[in-house]
Amino acid sequence: MKSAIPFISRKPLEHQQQWLARFKQLLPDEHVLLANDIEEPIRTNCEFAIVLDPEPSILATFNNLKWVQSLWAGVESLIELAKQQQFELVRMIDPKLAETMAEAVLAWSLYLHREMPSFAEQQQNKIWIQRPYRPAAECNIGILGLGELGQASAHKLIQNGFKLSGWSQTQKLIGGIDCYSGPQGLFKITQQSDILICLLPLTPNTKGIINSKLLKHLPANASIINFARGPLLNTDDLLAALDNKKLYHAVLDVFDQEPLPQQSPLWSHSNLTILPHIAATSSPQTAAEIAAQNIQFYRKSGQLPTTVDLQKGY
C-alpha cells in the first residue's frame, strides 16, 4: 500500500483545504492528508511531503522523508532541516508563477518610472505640477538574480521598452540584457540602475546584500524593489538612504518579520510602498498540477525532478 502524503502548511485551514481538494482531484490514487490527520507512529512511513510555508518543527516529525515538494519557489527556511534529516528538496518552478512575478515587476517599475508616488503626494497637497516625461528607453533597470523569476521579469520589462541589466552567481549571456556576475559586476549594475530590483534567493551569501555600501553607489534618485525575501535588505540602511534623499522610493513586498509588525517605522515612511507579500503567490491550479506530476513521475520511475543544491542554499 502507498504511504500517505502529508500536506503541511501554516496557512489558514480554509486555504489548506483548497489545496487538499485540488490534490485529491489530481492524485486520486494517493492519500494526501493534513499533517494533523496522520498519527505520530505512522509518520515515519511517509516517503515524501508536500509543503506550503510549513512550520519546520512539524515537518521534522516526519522523520524518514526521502524528499519534500515545496509549493513555494523560495525554500531557505527548509535548507537546515533538509541537511539534518537528509531529505531532498524540490522547489516550485512554475511558468505561471514567473509570469505573475513579471507582471508585478512591470506594474511597480511603471509606478516608479512614471513617478506615481510624487503625483499621489502632489494630490494630497493640492499641487498641480506637470513633471517632464522620460521615455522607458532612458530608464535603466537592474535585476539582482537572473533565475526563473528574474529572467521572466527582465523579458517583460524589455518588451515594455526599458533598458535591462542583470546580475547572477554564474555569468550569463542573454539577448537584450547586460549580464554581470561577481563583486565587480554587482558594483557596475548598482552604479547604472535607476530602479534596482531584488529577485535573489536568501542564502548566507545574499543576506543583507542591499546595504549602505551598495545603496551609496546607486545613481541619484534611484529606487529599490524587493520582491525576494526581507533579510536580503538591511532596513536601517534603507531608511537612512531614504531620509538622506539619496533614494527616490522603495517598494517592499517582503520583510524580516511577516506580517510586518504594527510598530515598524516602515509603515509610515512617505517614500516607501508596503505590500503584504503578494508579488507572486503560488496557484492551486498550476503549482498543484506541477507538484502532482512530480509525484506521479516519482511513483513510476523512482526519480526526482531537479532538486535544490543544499550547499548553495537555492
The binding site for ligand NAP (CB under 6 A) comprises 73-74, 101, 145-150, 167-170, 199-203, 205-206, 227-229, 253-254, 277, 279-280, 314
One-letter amino acid identity for 153? Answer: S
Of the candidates 31, 155, 277, 299, the residue annotated as catalytic is 277
* Region label for 36, one of left (φ > 0), alpha (ψ between -120 and 50) or beta (otherwise): alpha
| Residue 4 or 201 with smaller CB distance to ligand NAP | 201
Nearer to ligand NAP, 66 or 277 (CB): 277
Residue with Cβ nearer ligand NAP (141 or 199): 199
Q: Smallest distance, Å, CB 223 to ligand NAP? A: 17
Find out whether 39 and 21 touch, Cβ atoms under 8 Å.
Answer: no
Task: Say if residue 31 is exposed, middle or buried (CB neighbours under 10 Å; 0-12, 13-18, 19+).
Answer: middle
65 vs 90: CA distance, rounded Å:
13
Please report the sign of the dihedral spanned by the C-alpha atoms of residue 147, residue 153, residue 154, residue 156.
positive
Residue number of the CB closest to ligand NAP reads 147
Closest distance of CB 77 from ligand NAP, Å: 10
Give first-to-last CA distance, the chain, whole Å.
34
Cβ proximity to ligand NAP: between 89 and 228 the closer is 228
Residue recorded with cell 523560495: 74
Shortest CB 225 distance to ligand NAP, Å: 10
Catalytic residue among 43, 229, 249, 269: 229
The verdict on whether omega for the bond into residue 259 sits within 30 degrees of 0, i.e. cis, is: yes
Alpha carbon distance 199, 149 (integer Å): 7
- 229 catalytically annotated: yes
Nearest to ligand NAP of 35, 280 (CB atom)? 280
Cβ distance to ligand NAP smaller for residue 272 or 279: 279
Which strand (E) or helix (H) includes residue 196?
strand 195-198
If one counts every other C-beta atom within 10 angstroms of the C-beta of residue 144, the result is 26
Q: At its nearest, how many Å lie between ligand NAP and the CB of residue 109?
A: 15
Closest approach of Cβ 67 to ligand NAP, in Å? Answer: 18
Burial of 106 (0-12, 13-18, 19+ CB in 10 A): middle
C-alpha cell at 104: 508585478
Within 8 A by CB and 6+ apart from 37, the residues are none
Nearest distance in Å: CB 149, ligand NAP: 3
Task: Return the C-alpha cell found at 178.
Answer: 547586460
| Contact (Cβ atoms closer than 8 angstroms) between residue 165 and residue 179 | yes
Residue numbers annotated as active site: 229, 277
